[in-house]
A = this chain, B = another copy of it.
């Protein structure tokens, strides 16, 4: 898509001008790679600060945080440079963050291991040892996406969400049914020798929507309050509940041969209780909480209470089986300016003003590290590429169908469909569960099917920013990108 934009109007390539910054960055990476990387990769997770210092006679101080500081500097600088380059190509900045992440994470394939100290440990890379640095970067990334959804929730409004509620619900339902059917069909077609359990699970894997990347693109475009955005976000929340139900049912069928209605009802009930409970909490508890918080004469109560609400709702969402980002979005949605009015007297600015610097720091970490974990070797496996291509197409088409659920007029259905494409880590979690489930003596999701799902997740993540960027802006702005 870059070449397409480039053909029309060659943008000045920003990297020549940012060469000094890049050089400093690379020099730092080199020095660090030579000097500190063994320290970073080695002992930190024992966390023995004092002991490490004692072992290190040459240096007076030896703070285990320093390799983390280098890592964060590299990630942030790379994110901004990547974002700036892609913005020149009229793409959302987040695509640049993902792509520099892909470069950083796959540089090791060409030899240099400078960025490897950042690689989070995962089941897919059992050779990777969790260090204090990689663990913290991973956690900061996860907090980043939680705060991103919190911020998007703050910018959204419960009333607006309710108004598009029917569309969101229909979009979510279609967005689960269509990919499920297509996924099942692809399984039957390309994996005919496998049992129907496998086809069932493949269908389930395609249901989930991971709204982080979409939320970020909408923010990059300044469109979080557009009707399309409200429908996508609402549908993604409902989708998460539906995905939970689908997963429970499919698991029960594979494990027990049938799903217990009572069990499914409990899971569904917990999820809905959470969403309803959050709204009730917002109406009744928050105003009181803020009145109390306003009495505490300390600095920063506004942002701290906001973050505590966001963190606790994310946690509770996780407890009932929903994605933490759904809890964070709900927290943002129900926290309203009229609630924290008592606090405005002591801390200046709105809650959003306080959250933005924190998300500015943490959100790029999430997207760079998301790109970092894209393993380009997955694309080099010809035996799975056909399957990968088929389920990717099923995943994309399946979510386009859901735009038929939009009942409002004047809403761009294409944008709604594009916004629902990314599967993100939710698809991976489903697939990982499938790897742990056994049918006929082997895993429901085999190694090759898992790799195909990983490719699908990567592709759906990477195509969403340019597609959504184009569809959301094609009406309002100058026709910078051809259809």
Contacts and interface: CB of A to CB of B under 8 A. Distances in A.
B146 A429 contact: no
A63 to B, nearest CB: 5
A315 B70 contact: yes
Query: How many monomers of this chain does the complex have?
Result: 2
Contact of A139 (B62, B77, B132, B428): B132
Interface string A406-442: 0000000000000000000110110111011000000
State the majority secondary structure of interface residues on A.
helix
B322 A61 contact: yes
Interface core residue of A54, A58, A361 (most chain B CB under 10 Å): A54
Contact of A80 (B68, B296, B356): B296
Nearest to A356: B357
A123 interface: yes
Chain A contact-residue range equals 35 or more
B14 A301 contact: no
Contact of A132 (B21, B76, B130, B288): B130
A5 interface: no
Interface string A368-406: 000000000000000000000000000000000000000
A219 to B, nearest CB: 9
A282 B309 CA distance: 40
Given A18-B295, A300-B80, A358-B357, A59 B318 contact: yes
A247 to B, nearest CB: 5
A308 interface: yes
Contacts of A167: none
A66 interface: yes
A245 to B, nearest CB: 9
14 contacts: A45-B45, A47-B135, A60-B244, A61-B322, A62-B429, A64-B142, A65-B314, A69-B314, A70-B311, A87-B297, A136-B140, A303-B360, A307-B361, A356-B357
